[in-house]
Structure 1
Amino acid sequence: MTTSTAHQKTSTGFGPLLRTWRERRKRSQLDLSLDAGVSQRHLSFLESGRAKPSRDMILQLTEVLDVPLRDRNLLLQTAGFASAYEARPLDSDDMAAVRQALELTLQHHEPYPAVVMDKRWNLLLQNSAADRFIGLLGDTKSLWQQVDPSGKRNAMRLTFSPHGMQPLISNWPDAASMLLSRLQREVTADPGNQDLAELLQELGNLPTIPERWQTQAIHSAPEPILPLELSFNGTTLRIFSMISTFGTALDITADELRVETFFPADDFSAQFFQMLAANT
């Protein structure tokens, strides 16, 4: 989030921000009041500014609305309270247990690729299978310089770039539409994330993306898995991926982490990854 965006959101005040989040979640005042255990009248007063919330009330309402931890801090700040959640770097001592759990998850998924990304789809960790898989595209240092000169190693840019995965994906129309749809939903759910919105716009403007996709919702509901068909050297790999998140994170960094694990969709693809691991 940029400084100007954060300032703009803070200046709107607690009441309008609370109402905005309630509307984003498509909840009526009655629905929210029942789930949060507060009267509808009091909730109305909070949104209009006629009543001031307590710290516990803010945490209770934001929990029911499933507000991201970063934005829960912002709501607390607009009401005059200190932030409740820290954002510890993943490589800090305080996050050692989280990092060890992630690394163990990645190791256990061998010989199939698995990666850890932040909320903006930037790679933070990856297992050896992911290194080998990306290495099939060529020298990884040169590859990343081409697909993401920012140095953030963005997984979406790797997938959509004509220098990355895109030319190899034989089911490109389906895969691209599903990925953009996923990104659209994330931007809608967290419109304050300027980096995510800019990434969606950047990818939508690529020549491999039909212009009509930029102005319409691609999928009304998320797909349970992302199937990919990759063709190279006369063979076709069929894989699918699943994304996991921390369901009870109390740290912003952990709350925004996602683990993407890739699985073979047929015997040939399973044998391919096993042979790839055996040959290193």
Structure 2
Amino acid sequence: MTTQFGDLLKHWREARKLSQLDLGLSANVSARHISFLETGRARPSRAMVLNLGGVLEVPRGSRNMMLNAAGFAPSYRTRAMDEAEMGPIASALDWMLERHMPYPAMVLDRRWTIVRANAMATMMLGQLGLSADANLVEALLDEAGLPALIENWQEVAQHLIHRLRAEAAHLGGDPWLEEMATKLSACVDAAAPGPGTGSEAVIPTRYRLGDVTLSFFSTISQFSTAEDIALADWKIEHLFPADEATRKMVTELAHGLE
């Protein structure tokens, strides 16, 4: 007879495509002990739960669930950004966003809602008809809104579908991300060329703002040692001009924000 902890452990092991032997070797325990934990024949210590959660790269909120299932108090929580210990984090975010000017940059949470944005990103969002705290995935599902302003929408949507599914898989299955990927798939032309042709080094997103087209590619940063539940899922996305015309236009626009 399995326990709730055993079910959770097996779920995450299978989600990471590891055998009991693979997990045991990585966690420095025997495959037999992993089997006993999954079937309920053995009970884990708190240290063992945290060890296995770390090896399996279980998100912090789900590690709390594993701890609770094993009879232990949670280890992780979500902190408000105005708490004293979050001061250095808030300063780092502000530094990254502001130093990226005149180019757009924003902080996104686990479900792609904008948490923070610099002045250029805020201005662009307004021009695209979005608020500074918009959910980008939901905006991309409004066919009369943002997709109509992206010239290479089919390419962008197909890349986003892959990204959403990859993020959902890393989280051990996120129903919302999976649902959004399915909805986006229904919006994509099946006959359109898919990603992976290798014709470009990166696929930029080309936004049409009136008579002007701005072309950007992006990089994503995350906090590598975050223990806060929300902070571990945040992404800092920096947009860079994909051509000289975009660079010049954004630089000119930034002068109006000073």
Q: Is the CA contact (8 Å cut-off) linking 2:106 and 2:117 kept in structure 1? A: yes
Query: Which residue of 2 is the match for residue 60 of structure 1?
Result: 51
Normalization by structure 2: what TM-score?
0.88
> Which AA in structure 2 matches 1:274?
T
| CA–CA separation in structure 1 for the residues paired with 2:205 and 2:241 | 10
Alignment of 1:199-238 (within 5 A): 199-205=180-186, 208-210=187-189, 227-238=204-215
Shift of 1:37: 0.6
Percent sequence identity is 40
Distance 1:193 1:163, change over 3 A: same
1:25 aligns with 2:16: yes
Which ranges in structure 1 are unaligned for 5 or more consecutive residues? 1-10, 145-150
Query: Which residue of 1 is the match for residue 220 of structure 2?
Result: 243
Could you tell me which of 100, 104, 118 is aligned with 1:127? Answer: 118
Shift of 1:225: 5.6
1:102 aligns with 2:81: no
| CA–CA separation in structure 2 for the residues paired with 1:121 and 1:230 | 19
Shift of 1:196: 2.9
> Which AA in structure 2 matches 1:109?
H
Q: Aligned residue pairs: how many?
A: 252
| CA–CA separation in structure 1 for the residues paired with 2:115 and 2:142 | 19
The alignment partner of 2:204 has SS state of strand
Alignment of 1:72-111 (within 5 A): 72-111=63-102
> Which AA in structure 2 matches 1:239?
F
CA RMSD of aligned residues (A): 2.6
Normalization by structure 1: what TM-score?
0.81
| CA–CA separation in structure 1 for the residues paired with 2:190 and 2:183 | 13
Distance 1:121 1:114, change over 3 A: same
1:190 aligns with 2:171: yes
Q: Is the CA contact (8 Å cut-off) linking 1:226 and 1:241 kept in structure 2? A: no
> Which AA in structure 2 matches 1:92?
E
Query: Which residue of 1 is the match for residue 238 of structure 2?
Result: 261
Q: Is the CA contact (8 Å cut-off) linking 1:115 and 1:259 kept in structure 2? A: yes
Could you tell me which of 160, 168, 173 is aligned with 2:149? Answer: 168
Shift of 1:230: 2.3
Which ranges in structure 2 are unaligned for 5 or more consecutive residues? none
Distance 1:228 1:128, change over 3 A: same
Shift of 1:204: 4.2
> Which AA in structure 2 matches 1:121?
W
The alignment partner of 1:116 has SS state of strand
| CA–CA separation in structure 1 for the residues paired with 2:235 and 2:116 | 10
